[in-house]
Amino acid sequence: MSESNPINQNPQPNEAVESTNQPATNLEDRNAKTRQLLGMKGAATGETSIWKIRLQLMKPITWIPLIWGVVCGAASSGNYTWSLENVLKAALCMLLSGPLLTGYTQTINDYYDREIDAINEPYRPIPSGAISEKQVISQFVLLVLLGYAVAYTLDLWAGHEFPNVLMLSVFGSFIAYIYSAPPLKLKQNGWLGNYALGASYIALPWWAGHALFGELNWKIVVLTLFYSLAGLGIAIVNDFKSVEGDRQLGLKSLPVMFGIQTAALICVVMIDLFQGLVAGYLVTIHENLYAAILVLLIIPQITFQDMYFLRDPIANDVKYQASAQPFLVFGMLVTGLALGHAGI
């Protein structure tokens, strides 16, 4: 009786492992390249396209909150209507707040953080040698000048007698400069630096959107500066990935000053407390429904803080931001709508 030989032999163990790992490796490579373009932690290295490198410097992932801030400002003005002209105005203001001025801020920050990044994030464009310092300087100068041009265009379009949007842009770019550059370098102080960053993410684009469609007043200025104390907590989240380099170079970030766990607790308390206090203010102006919605949006943030951030703020910072930050930004819009409805 002859012995039968099956046509399909079982794969060797090494071949099976290689076949299984190949899709996972390809997925990891794609994720790393996406992170590189967005300017996120854990990016790939070896990019040669100068335009992709310039985009990485501008950190597109950071544009979203400022673009959203313009929407909140338009809502709080109480004057936004859905016309083609208003949509185009808002889109141009989003271009100003996001790619242009936030891109300028991130580029100049990378330039002055090149020594820290060489320790914490050596894959960043400057420490990796992917772009020269001269090219970086030309990029942030061009971005801020384009920002000023767009801001002045918006003032003309809105019929402003005083160039409100341009002045806000000049002020914002100045804050971005002193945040990153010596001798002031606000980021050397965990409280001042993070508040400047929080206000830049919440108050400044909010003011621009409000000024574009209405009259910017002191109540809006004060309330958004107060709201920015919640933004201070969000800004602290970004310090955990840089704690080792900050410690070596003597920067007094909150994780360096207070330790990882205490700084994480300060961070979440700031985020939750000041959103809650804003909800309380909405009750005082009789916008109870909006206040209730804002409180409901704080609850999932607390949940994700416990699930991810407080357990391991260094490992889970990106995961926490991705899961919790959408609820914070929707809370901003709820507040903007409430202020517009109340005619503040």
Handedness of CA 214, 216, 218, 223 (dihedral sign): positive
Contacts by 116-121 with C-beta closer than 8 Å and gap 24+? Answer: 116/242, 116/245, 116/246, 116/249, 116/251, 117/245, 118/245, 119/244, 119/245, 119/248, 119/249, 120/241, 120/242, 120/244, 120/245, 121/41, 121/43, 121/241, 121/242
Give me the residues paired with residue 252 across strands: 189
Q: Which of the given ranges, 91-100, 112-121, 319-328, has the highest pLDDT on average?
A: 91-100
At residue 334, the pLDDT reads: 98
Percent of the chain with pLDDT over 90: 72
Rounded distance between C-alpha atoms, residue 341 and residue 344, angstroms: 8
pLDDT band at 127 (very low <50, low <70, confident <90, very high): very high
pLDDT band at 117 (very low <50, low <70, confident <90, very high): confident
**HSE of 225 in the Cβ direction (CA atoms, 13 Å)?**
6
Is the pLDDT score of 311 beyond 90?
Answer: yes
Q: Which tens digit of pLDDT belongs to each residue from 228-274?
A: 999 999 899 988 888 888 888 778 889 999 999 999 999 999 999 99
Percent of the chain with pLDDT over 70: 86
Which residues 6+ apart lie within 8 Å of 106 measured at CB? 39, 57, 58, 59, 62
Q: Which tens digit of pLDDT belongs to each residue from 146-191?
A: 999 999 999 999 999 999 999 999 999 999 999 999 999 998 888 9
Report, as an integer, the average pLDDT of 24-37. 60
Rounded distance between C-alpha atoms, residue 187 and residue 155, angstroms: 31
Contact 104, 143 (CB under 8 A): yes
At residue 2, the pLDDT reads: 42
């916008």: which residue's tokens?
A: 287
Top-confidence residue, 18 or 245: 245
pLDDT band at 91 (very low <50, low <70, confident <90, very high): very high
pLDDT band at 192 (very low <50, low <70, confident <90, very high): very high
Mean pLDDT value across the chain: 89
* H or E element, residue 36: helix 13-38
pLDDT band at 39 (very low <50, low <70, confident <90, very high): low
At residue 85, the pLDDT reads: 97
At residue 169, the pLDDT reads: 98
Is the pLDDT score of 291 beyond 60?
Answer: yes
At residue 1, the pLDDT reads: 41
Measure the N-to-C terminal CA separation of the chain; round to a whole number of Å: 95
